[in-house]
Amino acid sequence: MRIESPREFERLGAVRIYGLQKVYELDAGPDSATQEEEDSVVRRVSSEAINSIERQMAIVVPVRNERLKLIEGVLVGIPHDCLVIVVSNSPREPVDKFYLEQEAIKNYCRFTRKQVVVVHQKDPGIAAAFAAAGYTEILDDKDLVRNGKAEGMIMGTILAKLMGRKYVGFVDSDNYFPGAVNEYVKEYAAGFHINQSDYSMVRISWHSKPKVVENSLYFAKWGRSSRHSNMFLNRLVGHHTGFETEIVKTGNAGEHALTVELAMGIDYATGYAVETFHYVHLLEKYGAILGEGDDASAPASDMHHKVKISQIESRNPHLHESKGDEHVEDMIAASLSTIYHSRLCPESLREEIEQDLQRRHYLKEGDQLAPMRVYKSLDRMDFNVFGDKASAVIKVSGQTHTTVAPGATASAPAAASTSSSSA
Ligand code: GDD
Ligand code: MG
């Protein structure tokens, strides 16, 4: 891959937010290709370098009731050496959609010999592992993992660690273009190769999102939700640096990846608020910023790690299932709520957020924007206990019937599933 070096960055404490990087070539050749001088404007990342990251990466695919053809297309796009972890929250009644998903994935794995783990978000064994490890906040009143995309991502993240992977990336399961999925994963790998930090995050900004407008194709740049999150996140950053900025372009990046070390150390907001909250929380935790009302004795920011956030502009158009206007409005409110309720959010910005939501009739005057549930970082749980319990639940159900040991890399080319499932 040939990719632009970031031209600018914003630094807040230990956090660096790099400006958007363009991709110039999806495949820039192997190591042995013509020796090129290092260029400060554009970086070449060889196919070997990309593959070496892919071998250490798990890709989590959250699923809730998507069409099987779409899920299969997404699996087609994920590079072979990545471990795939499908976390499904699809209904099991009246039709057992999860069973159908498992059947389709198992069949797909017969042809590709890809490593795929399939778990259901409501698996009682995994819920019991969370409970035993002391991470009960993720459980609902039935002692099962709560609903929500973030909750599925948290489950995927801890499984990625359990399977010994160093990086964890996310791709939505409702993507129509396998080629786009393939590109996102390569861009995660290129980002990690360039960043070389244990506290690194790579976020994708889609180049375009095709829509039909007046009977012809229109390639829109920004979705409604990203436009809002980006604008208010930039106001937040600008407030604390004193300089207006447009650095944030990926406030809602569903497609993003992190080092597992960083993923284990950060808090998560529920549902679709998860991606915007990444920025808010990273600034809260590592930004060395005092919020309004904080005194100097407030807990110090962690300055021991350089937290790098890369934003890469993908080239393929992004086409996914359309889920309706109400869903987008909910997503905007959830995202903005994470900014609104942050201790870093100044009163003036709170007012702007309220006015914005009132203008769009989401919030009535005098009503308060509800705070989002926040889960504390995964490194607070007893990982060994979780590993023992969860390993007994997750079995590779292909040729070898191996139980996956904590910290081990699953090497069997097979589909795996939870034992409680009926695959
Ligand atoms: N496991 C699991 N559990 N997966 C879920 C759940 C859940 O409760 N809810 C949704 N998903 C899956 C969907 O099946 C899909 O693959 C993915 O999560 C994203 O959900 P969508 O409902 O398709 O969201 P979207 O397309 O409107 O929004 C996406 O893009 C936004 C940026 O524009 C999401 O990735 C957002 O998080 C992102 O901000
Ligand atoms: Mg979608």
- Alpha-carbon dihedral angle through residues 274, 279, 280, 282, given to the nearest 10 degrees: 110
Domain with 52, as residue range(s), is 2-208+251-288+306-324+379-409
Give the ligand 1 atom nearest the CA of 61.
16
User: What number of other Cβ atoms are within 10 A of residue 362's Cβ?
Assistant: 15
Ligand 2 centre distance from Cα of residue 230 (Å) = 18
Q: What is the dihedral of CA 390, 396, 400, 401, to 10 degrees?
A: 50
- Between the CA of 172 and the centroid of ligand 1 the distance, in Å, is 6
pLDDT value of residue 97? 96
Task: Residue 387: name the closest of 83, 120, 125, 138 by CA.
Answer: 125
The model carries a pTM of 0.92
Weakly modelled stretches of the chain, pLDDT under 50: 396-414, 419-423
- Spacing, Cα 318 to ligand 2 middle (Å): 10
Query: Which H or E run includes 282?
Result: helix 274-286
The answer as to whether 12 is a domain residue is yes
Average pLDDT over the chain, rounded to an integer: 89
Asked if residue 310 is part of any domain, the answer here is yes
Contacts of 107 (CB under 8 A, 6+ apart): none
The three-class DSSP label of residue 42 is: strand
Contact between residue 205 and residue 221 where contact means Cβ atoms under 8 Å apart: no
Tally the domains of the chain.
1
Atom of ligand 1 nearest to the CA of 173: 16
Q: What pLDDT was estimated at residue 325?
A: 79
Cα 393–Cα 397–Cα 401 angle in degrees, nearest 5: 90
Q: What is the pLDDT of residues 135-186, one digit of tens each?
A: 999 999 999 999 999 999 999 999 999 999 999 999 999 999 999 999 999 9
CB 275 near ligand 1, within 6 Å: yes
**Residue 228 resides in a domain:** no
Give the CA count within 13 Å in the CB-facing half-sphere of 411. 3
Within a domain: 351: no
The sign of the dihedral angle between the CA atoms of 320, 321, 323, 327 is negative
For 237, the enclosing helix (H) or strand (E) is helix 224-241
Kindly identify the ligand whose nearest atom is closest to the C-alpha of 223: 1
Whether ligand 1 lies within 6 angstroms of the CB of 226 is answered as yes
**C-beta separation of 387 from 407 below 8 A:** yes
Q: Ligand 1 pocket, 190 CB below 6 A?
A: no
Cis-peptide, bond into residue 94, ω within 30° of zero = yes
**pLDDT of res. 33:** 61
Q: Does 367 reside within a domain?
A: no
Closest C-alpha to ligand 1, atom 31: 254
Q: What is the token pair recorded at 385?
A: 């206990």
CATH number of the domain where residue 167 is located: 3.90.550.10
Q: Which residue's entry shows tokens 């796009």?
A: 77
pLDDT in tens, 295-336: 665 556 677 789 999 999 999 999 888 877 788 888 999 999
* The one-letter amino acid at 423: A
Ligand having the closest approach to the CA of 151: 1
| Binding site membership of 89 for ligand 1 (Cβ less than 6 Å) | yes
Note the pLDDT of residue 102: 93
> Alpha carbon 220 to chain centroid distance?
22
How high is the pLDDT of residue 77? 98
The answer to the question of residue 334 being in a domain is: no
Radius of gyration for the alpha carbons in the chain, expressed in angstroms and rounded: 21
Q: Is residue 83 part of a domain?
A: yes
* Distance between CA atoms of residues 185 and 261, nearest Å: 19
Nearest ligand to the CA atom of 98: 1
**What is the pLDDT at residue 117?**
93
Report if residue 420 sits inside a domain.
no
